[in-house]
Amino acid sequence: MSEETVAVPLGGPTVRPRRLRTTPALRRMVAETSLEPRQLVLPVFVREGLSEPQPISSMPGVVQHTRSSLLGAVSEAAELGLGGVMLFGIPEHKDATGSGAIDPAGILNLAITDVVAEVGDALTVMSDLCIDEFTDHGHCGVLTPDGRVDNDRTLAVYAEMALAQAAAGVDMVGPSGMMDGQVAVIRAALDVAEHTDVSILAYSAKYASAFYGPFREAVDSSLQGDRRTYQQDSPNARESVREALLDIEEGADIVMVKPALAYLDVVRRVRDAVDVPVAAYNISGEYSMLEAAAAQGWIDREVAILETLTSIRRAGADIVLTYWASEVARLLG
C-alpha cells in the first residue's frame, strides 16, 4: 500500500483519545474505576489444634492460622484500612451434622470473639455461615438418609449457627450454602434473639465451580463429588438476578457473586438490578492461577493482581473479597 492511500487527513486526526493517556497524572485523573483498601475484604482461615501457622500448598502465601497468628493478620488488616475480614474455621473433628459450627466453643465461634476483641470496630468482622468445613461428608447441608442435601433441615442448622456467631460478637454473617430460604431463616432467627444489628452478606449467586479447588485444601474438605444440586450452573446468568432479588426480599443487606472472574457479566447484571451493595469473591483458584503463572515468571505479578481486582470493580462490585487484600492495601498505600 502506498502512502497516498492512507485515509488520514493532512496533519493527522483531530480527535485523539490517546491525549488523555499521556502522563500518569492524567491517567489517574480520568480513571473511571478506583481500587481502595476500604473496598477489600480479606478471607482468613483458622484451624483448631494448630501450634504453628500451616502453609496451604495450593495457595502460596496463604496459611491456615492458629488462634494467635490470626490476631496478627486481622490487626494488620485493620491498620491497613481494609473493609473487613471473612473468617473460616476448620475444626479438628467433623461429623454428619457439622455440630462444631453451632458449638459456642467451636473454632469459628471462638475465633470470632478473639477477632472482635482484637480489632473492635476498626474492621467489619464477617464469618462464613455454612457447615461444609464442619461436616464429615463435606456438604454444605445435612443429608437425607439416601444421601441428598436436605434443604429444610439444613435451614434449622443455619439458624442456630447464626445465633452462635451473633453471640460470639460477629458484625456480619455470610451464608454461603445456597439453600433456598436461608437468608429469611437467618434474618428471623437473629431478629427474634434481638441481634437486629447483625447484617447479612448473602452469597446470592454462587456457582458450582472448578475454581474452588485450592479452597478444598485450605479447609481440609472431605467432599466427594460436587455441589451441583445446590450451587448454580455456569451457563445461567438471568438466574443470578433472581437469586439476588430473592435474597434482598428475604433481608440480605449485601449480595455477592462468586466466583468473580469467570462471572464478571453476572457481577454487572446483578449490580444493575439491585440497589444494595454488591460484593464479588475473587476465589482460591483465581488466586492460585495468577500466583502459579507469576512464579513461572510468565506474568508481572503485582500488575496482574491490580488489573484483576480492578476488573472486578469495573464489572460493578462495590466490595471485593480477595486473598491479596492486605498486600494490595500496602501497594496502594
CA-closest candidate to residue 247, choices 284, 277, 211? 277
CA-closest candidate to residue 170, choices 99, 92, 90, 84? 84
Distance CA 145, CA 272 (A): 42
CB of 43 to ligand PBG, least distance (A): 6
Nearer to ligand PBG among residue 79 and residue 180 (C-beta):
180
Nearer to ligand PBG among residue 113 and residue 222 (C-beta):
222
The SS3 of residue 216 is helix
CB of 330 to ligand PBG, least distance (A): 21
Residue with cell 485444601: 217
Output 298-307 pairs: Cβ under 8 A, ≥24 positions apart: 302/331, 306/35, 306/331
CB of 120 to ligand PBG, least distance (A): 26
Distance CA 123, CA 114 (A): 13
Nearer to ligand PBG among residue 37 and residue 174 (C-beta):
174
CB of 144 to ligand PBG, least distance (A): 20
Distance CA 57, CA 198 (A): 34
CB of 223 to ligand PBG, least distance (A): 7
Alpha helices in 94-237 (DSSP H): 107-119, 151-168, 182-192, 213-218
Nearer to ligand PBG among residue 74 and residue 218 (C-beta):
218
CB of 107 to ligand PBG, least distance (A): 14
**258, 269, 271, 313: which one is catalytic?**
258
By CB atoms closer than 10 A (0-12, 13-18, 19+), residue 321 is buried
Nearer to ligand PBG among residue 165 and residue 176 (C-beta):
176
The Cα diameter of the chain in Å comes to: 81
The answer to whether 193 and 166 have CB atoms below 8 angstroms apart is: yes
Chain residues in the site for ligand PBG (CB under 6 A) = 128, 130, 132, 140, 176, 212, 215, 227, 283-284
Q: For residue 207, how far is the Cα from the chain centroid?
A: 13
**94, 137, 206, 269: which one is catalytic?**
206
Give catalytic status of residue 94 as yes or no. no
Angle at 314 between CA 311 and CA 318, to 5 degrees: 110
Nearer to ligand PBG among residue 20 and residue 210 (C-beta):
210
Q: Which positions are catalytic?
A: 206, 258
